[in-house]
Amino acid sequence: MLLDFPETDVHATLAFDMAPVGLCVSEHRIIRRCNRKFASIFGYSVEEIEGQSFAMLYPSQSEFVRIGELSQARMRISGQYADDRIMRRKSGQLSWFHSAGQSMDPASPFERVVWMFEDLETTRQVTVSLTARERDVASLLVTGASAKTIARTLGLSPRTVEHYRTRLINKHDVRTTSELISRLVGPVR
């Protein structure tokens, strides 16, 4: 099995399985091996989630595709990808997660990737219903990206990004972008 460590390396297996963050190894966006923390933060058992597509953890198929395209493009350059994103738990609840991935081969980014996921629910809660595009814009706003940068990343015009930013401000009942970001990010840990 993938990531079966030699018998002499019990410590590597123990470190992977008992890590305080969610860890998994994927092949072509299929979860091949994960630790208990990874499965539990999404509400699954290890047995339920191993062998499944990452698509089951996304709010929509279009977000699965979009984030896949974005992460693959970045991994081709550096071998790495990281972001904060809204994902779906087994219960259907949408929650913020921080993810970071390291491709084993940047020339074939999704062939095998080691991923780390951290549940941000205690510090950043999804409090209002957002469209897929609003989630896209929100996830980039919290990084400090400008409207022009968000527009380039999402393939939109800066004016369209401003439209979504205004919708987010209204939905979150705040007055400024700074207040919106504070609401989206939640209290500092």
Residue 56 token pair: 């089951």
Same domain, 25 and 105: yes
Is 91 among the domain residues? yes
79 torsion bin: left (phi>0), alpha (psi -120 to 50), beta (else): left
Helix (H, G, I), strand (E, B) or coil at 24: strand
Q: What is residue 118's predicted lDDT score, i.e. its pLDDT?
A: 92
Last residue in a domain, options 95, 119, 143 = 119
Per the structure, the count of domains in the chain is 2
Same domain, 172 and 98: no
Domain of residue 109, CATH code? 3.30.450.20
Does this model's pTM top 0.85? My answer is: no
Domain that residue 159 falls in: 132-185
Residues of the chain with pLDDT under 50: 1-2, 5, 188-189
Domain of residue 179, CATH code? 1.10.10.10
Q: What is residue 187's predicted lDDT score, i.e. its pLDDT?
A: 53
Contact yes or no for 104/74 (Cβ under 8 A): no
Q: How many CB atoms lie within 10 A of CB 108?
A: 13
Same domain, 36 and 111: yes
Same domain, 58 and 102: yes
Q: What is residue 188's predicted lDDT score, i.e. its pLDDT?
A: 47
Is 44 among the domain residues? yes
